[in-house]
Structure 1
Amino acid sequence: MNTIYHIGTVGQRWGQPETAQWLSEQQIKRSFFDDVLPAITALQHDFDLEQYGELDYQPVCGKRYPLFAVKSRNWQSDKPTVLVTGGVHGYETSGVHGALRFLQTKAQAYSDKLNVLVLPCISPWGYETINRWNPDAIDPNRSFSADGKAAEAQLVRQYLAGLNVHFALHIDLHETTDSDNSEFRPAKAARDGTINNNWNIPDGFYLVDDAEHPCPALQKAIIDQVAKITHIAAADENGQLIGENIEQFGVINYAKASLGLCASVTEAPLVSTTEVYPDSPSATPEQCILAQVAAVTAALDYLLR
């Protein structure tokens, strides 16, 4: 199904007026400062908090958003280091709250064997406006290459480079939602002057492995654990999920570095991107959060094995 977006002219890329119109239509719908930031600061008794940057969006919404990393306490250079990222797409709620729940309930149990680093909410303006893009109509999850344009992504890159550590594993927490078809994919096609063809939204959890450096055994270990929490997405009639061929049950592959995806930011040998489906009639918001936690712990257990 082709969906024509209400901003712009079909076949023509957006200019500044179209981007400004899009931004003028975005509204604050929930609060990073009420929902997320207090949960992060409450972790300071058990973890080290580091503010790695700030997004000054005062001209847009009158706010500055502090960006925090949460680190396990007994950080040691001889232990493997793992990264968990959430909220690269701020509208993907369980990515943010799954990262926080992992910190609240599971992370300390791993800190004797692993250095654990969590960036729970990379795109707080996107969280507040329930948005995939930042205020410049740029997708942070296509901006993790050196020439990426989203400040959300570049601040993460600079922070991680400054740590000067080698990551053994990176799990990036995402969702696929019905609004991908109703809003975000049509908007992207309009912005880029292309034609949108909606894909089938998978009903259930799935993973995106790295086509350039696949680790299928890790993906299977995650799927096996998450299946105990919520259902795994079945392939569509074309044997695909979101237009990509199935590599194994519940897993597709993307070329992550080529696309500038967050999951390419560390060059870790073990990488996975989760995709939870919060709009499923068969899954609750709590199940979505628990599925993210299960994915993270399954990945860490796989690494330790």
Structure 2
Amino acid sequence: MQEYPIGTPGQPWSDEEKAQWKEQQSIQRSYREEVLEKLPDSLDGFSIVQYGALPYDEEKYPLYALVSEPVSQTKPTILVTGGVHGYETSGVQGALRFINNDVMRYTSRFNFVIVPCISPWGYETINRWNPMAMDPNRSFYKDSPAPESAQIINFLDSLDVSFLMHIDLHETTDTDNSEFRPALAARDGITNTNWNIPDGFYTVANTQSPQLDFQKAVIESVRKVTHIAPADDEGRLIGEPVQSEGVICYDKKKLHLCGGMTDATFVTTTEVYPDSEQATPEQCNQAQVAAITGALDYLMAANL
């Protein structure tokens, strides 16, 4: 296997090597054009809240959330997050599409907090990490050094609400194996082991409370849009045992994942496969919306 071009095999990166990695990153698309300009100027029953800005460039990277206004004490609250990993495009675009086309159908039953792009620098550079070579999705804990993670945690704490559901929108891409896992191994001075990229959609439930009927409802909703990832020959997806079709589990709090930053009863992380020969970018965006609406329809049918 080809060695990663930065660092010495077996030795974790120093600050110098992290800086070398950052110097190799470049802007490839516009957060303002592709994200901020797609947020509605106003939406009945919601406020568009700037909850922070990334310190790398506060003017360029303001952080926004759509929040029910007011938050009704008689309705449960739903959290939707996208763009924790900036390179996972459909998570961001799916959240925006849900805001612009679908959220109003559910406002009589739920409050919403929707954060379409947690990592805008990562979005512009098409990156998993932030400029400090840090993965925000392993950094959701109190006083996190990752500003992407710390600022959303502080914002949610300031709302002083509990969440019934949190859906975090992600992708698994071929670049996980070609770039991001090799970079991670090089950064940490460990041996890289690639995983089999699942061909299709799957979800990651929370180990402590998988809520498999809920996960199945998400899978069935997405199945109408794109295909569901089959398990490998060992009955696994990305190395984890399949709990039901297209569903695996992670311990989200232990791993400091975005999906573990609340105590929501119903938690799922979507994983779309944009590199599949069977799926288009449009289908990937639609799959993210179908995951959200399938989850909400399940909660409504269960009268939750």
Which bracket does the TM-score occupy, shorter chain normalised? over 0.9
Paired residue secondary structure (2:61): strand
**Residue 169 (structure 1) aligns with:** 165
Q: Distance between the aligned counterparts of 2:225 and 2:233, measured in 1? A: 25
Paired residue secondary structure (1:71): strand
1:167-206 → structure 2 map (5 Å cutoff): 167-206=163-202
Q: Distance between the aligned counterparts of 1:224 and 1:287, measured in 2? A: 15
**Residue 106 (structure 1) aligns with:** 102
Q: What are the Cα deviations for residues 56-80 of structure 1, in whole angstroms up to 9, with x where unaligned?
A: 214xxx9631000102345311100
User: Could you tell me which amino acid in structure 1 is paired with residue 5 of structure 2?
Assistant: H
**Residue 11 (structure 1) aligns with:** 10
Contact map agreement 1:57 1:63 (CA 8 A) in 2: no
**Residue 49 (structure 1) aligns with:** 48
Q: Distance between the aligned counterparts of 1:132 and 1:227, measured in 2? A: 27
Paired residue secondary structure (1:134): coil
Q: What are the Cα deviations for residues 105-133 of structure 1, in whole angstroms up to 9, with x where unaligned?
A: 11011111100110000000000000000
Does 2:152 align with 1:153? no
Contact map agreement 2:80 2:166 (CA 8 A) in 1: yes
Contact map agreement 1:221 1:299 (CA 8 A) in 2: yes
**Residue 269 (structure 1) aligns with:** 265
User: Could you tell me which amino acid in structure 1 is paired with residue 278 of structure 2?
Assistant: S
**Residue 218 (structure 1) aligns with:** 214
Report the alpha carbon displacement of residue 43 of structure 1 after superposing the two structures with TM.
4.5
How many residue pairs align between the two structures? Answer: 300
Structure 1 ranges of 4+ moved more than 2 A: 72-75
Calculate percent identity across the aligned residue pairs: 57
Does 2:67 align with 1:68? no
Structure 2, unmatched stretches of 5+, are: none
Match of 1:138 among 134, 157, 162: 134
Contact map agreement 2:203 2:270 (CA 8 A) in 1: yes
Residues 121 and 220 of structure 1, relative CA distance in 2, 3 Å threshold: same
Residues 239 and 63 of structure 1, relative CA distance in 2, 3 Å threshold: same
TM-score by length of 2: 0.96
Report the alpha carbon displacement of residue 173 of structure 1 after superposing the two structures with TM.
0.1
Q: What are the Cα deviations for residues 124-174 of structure 1, in whole angstroms up to 9, with x where unaligned?
A: 000000000000000000011125321100000000001000100000000
Contact map agreement 2:55 2:147 (CA 8 A) in 1: no
User: Could you tell me which amino acid in structure 2 is paired with residue 4 of structure 1?
Assistant: E
Q: Distance between the aligned counterparts of 2:244 and 2:211, measured in 1? A: 11
